[in-house]
Amino acid sequence: MNYWLMKSEPAECSVDDALAAPGATVPWVGVRNYHARNFMRDAMRVDDGVLFYHSSCAEPGVVGVARVASAPYPDPTQFDPSSRYFDPAAKRQAPRWTLVDVQVLRKTRNLTLAAMRGDPLLADLALLRKGSRLSITPVEQRHWKIVLQRLGEQ
* pTM exceeding 0.85: yes
Tens of pLDDT, residues 62-100:
999 999 999 999 999 999 999 999 999 999 999 999 999
**How far is the C-alpha of 85 from the C-alpha of 33, rounded, in Å?**
12
**What CATH number corresponds to the domain at position 138?**
3.10.590.10
Number of domains making up the chain: 1
Domain interval for residue 80: 3-150
In this predicted model, what pLDDT tens digit does every residue of 104-146 receive, in sequence order? Answer: 999 999 999 999 999 999 999 999 988 888 999 999 999 999 9
Averaged pLDDT for residues 22-39: 97
How far is residue 43's CA from residue 16's CA, in Å, rounded to a whole number? 27
